[in-house]
Amino acid sequence: MQSAFVRGYVISDTELDLPDQCSDWQSSSIGGYSFYFHPLTKWARFSDAQGDNWAVFIGQAVDLESGETSMPELAKRTCEILGQQDEQAAVEYLAYLGGRFICAFGKKDEVTVIPDCHATIAAFWTEKDGKFVASSHSRLTAIIAGCEQSSKSAGIMESPLYTDAGGKYYPGVLTPFESVLPLIANCLLRNEKRQGTTRHTRFYPWADVQPLGDTGLVLDAFGKVLERHVELLTSLGKTNISLTAGLDSRAAAFAAADQVQEGSYAYTYFRFEGAVTETVQDLMGASDWARVLGLPHRIIRLHPYDPGADWVKMYVQSFPRGARFPALAQCYDENFSDDDISLVSTIAETGTAFYKLRDSPDPTPEVLAGKFSRSPIGRSEDMVEVFKEYVEFSEFTSSRIHNLDWHDLFYWEHRNSKWASLWYSELDLSHRVFLPFNSRALIEIMLSLDYSLRESRFLLTEYCARKAAELGVSATLINS
């Protein structure tokens, strides 16, 4: 759809005059708060008869336990828990929903905003001049609240000390704009309208993650939850599968192969210009596995970004700074339609030890700065200061994270909230995207294993081998 902030939203404690780019958005008011939605944004609301408890879902949540995928029903269930129990019970219920969503719930003149497991729908918020605004895009929040560009952020992003072949992104709580802050995974926002206060607080973990014991039991539990999540996601419509030769992608494809509807296919994006042996092998491996799974395999040709295309106007309005992969976003816009659904197998690395070097027992600002970037800026005083602020903002201390390893949690929260979520927002420009591994129940199963098993990707390897053996696949292909 050729418009800015596609599938976006706005939440505010006052009625707003939205910018011209949002002139065709829908609006709704509940609990003393105003909500605004892009025409393609999926949303639903519910309020009890007295209006004492209310909830608004944005995106698409699924309940792995009950099998419920109806957004109005999920909003109703949230209100029931809030009315019959308390806010903590509602938070715990929402924390274990799958899908890709953000939920706002509360009582009169109070709102709590909670993201899904990995904060895959972003929330950028501010309370500048006493006005609370949260939205899907940092620029949208900045426009509405009148926030200027951040010279501090620009200085870091443009610093010659900051290099990254995989692409740079904003560290800590920095965004491109002054006073605009992110909502971090495993944290929530709570605004009290009458007091004029907004707090960003950690809600997870609230207890130790318990080991499941025998690795066979863990493998069974992993497969059961992954397949349940994929079953619910694929029930939403014809679903295509982003496929590479990698284990996480392969596991998601195995889980989905029997669930997808007629006409679905696997796809791989590929840049033919400058292709090297490793990327060709990955493409061929994806094709082999698509054949095994009985799925047509579509190769989407990735071409250089065309800055003169009409599409770019929409893109630049939505992501004037902090763009992640504009060439891929443009390519997908040319190959998908608004209602297409894709399964993308990111996020699994939360459970498979993304950070291999683990030589510090505590997440000090100095250590976090170095984990963020191995370039010289990771050792700079400026970056250490950024992560001092991040530690306080996200309550990222050993005493608050129970028995989870901070390395896993740092990848889960910081890299996904600040880097991956931007990519999903870019993909929203072209079609709907869901993530099979975006389930707290699934991630907890993965994190229950010892580090050595996670680092060796035991669950992904054994799950794929089990599923391949069921199909009679040769050992050569299984081990490729």
pLDDT in tens, 106-121: 998 999 999 999 999 9
| CA distance between the termini of the chain | 40
- The CATH number that applies at residue 112 is 3.60.20.10
The pLDDT value recorded for residue 1 is 58
Assess whether 25 and 87 both reside in one domain: yes
Q: 104 has which bridge partners? A: 56, 113
The per-residue pLDDT for 265 is: 96
Q: What local confidence, expressed as pLDDT, does residue 322 receive? A: 62
- pLDDT at residue 274, as a whole number: 83
Residue 470 is part of a domain; what is its CATH number?
Answer: 3.40.50.620
Contact 89, 12 (CB under 8 A): no
Residues 185 and 283 placed together within one structural domain of the fold:
no
Question: Which of 174, 202, 230 is the C-terminal boundary of a domain?
Answer: 202
**Are residue 126 and residue 244 in the same domain, yes or no?**
no
381 falls within a domain: no
Short-list 427, 235, 425, CA closest to 338: 427
Same domain, 222 and 140: no
Contact 438, 347 (CB under 8 A): yes
Q: Of the candidates 202, 236, 263, which is a domain's last residue?
A: 202
The number of folded domains in the chain is: 2
283 and 186 within one domain: no
| pLDDT attached to residue 256 | 95
* d(C-alpha 155, C-alpha 234), whole Å: 43
Domain presence at residue 366 = no
| Residues 474 and 337 occupy one common structural domain | yes
User: Residue 308 belongs to what domain range?
Assistant: 215-349+420-478
Q: What are phi and psi of 23, to 5 degrees?
A: -65, -25
Q: Are residues 62 and 196 in the same domain?
A: yes
What is the DSSP annotation of 362-411?
A: S--HHHHHHHH-SSGGGGSHHHHHHHHHHHHHHT-SGGGSTTS-HHHHHI
Q: Rounded distance, CA 366 to CA 199, Å?
A: 25
Residues 325 and 462 placed together within one structural domain of the fold: yes
* Entry pTM: 0.96
Taking only the tens place, the pLDDT of each residue in 185-205 is 999 999 999 898 999 999 999
Identify the segments of the chain with pLDDT beneath 50: none
pLDDT at residue 478, rounded to an integer: 60
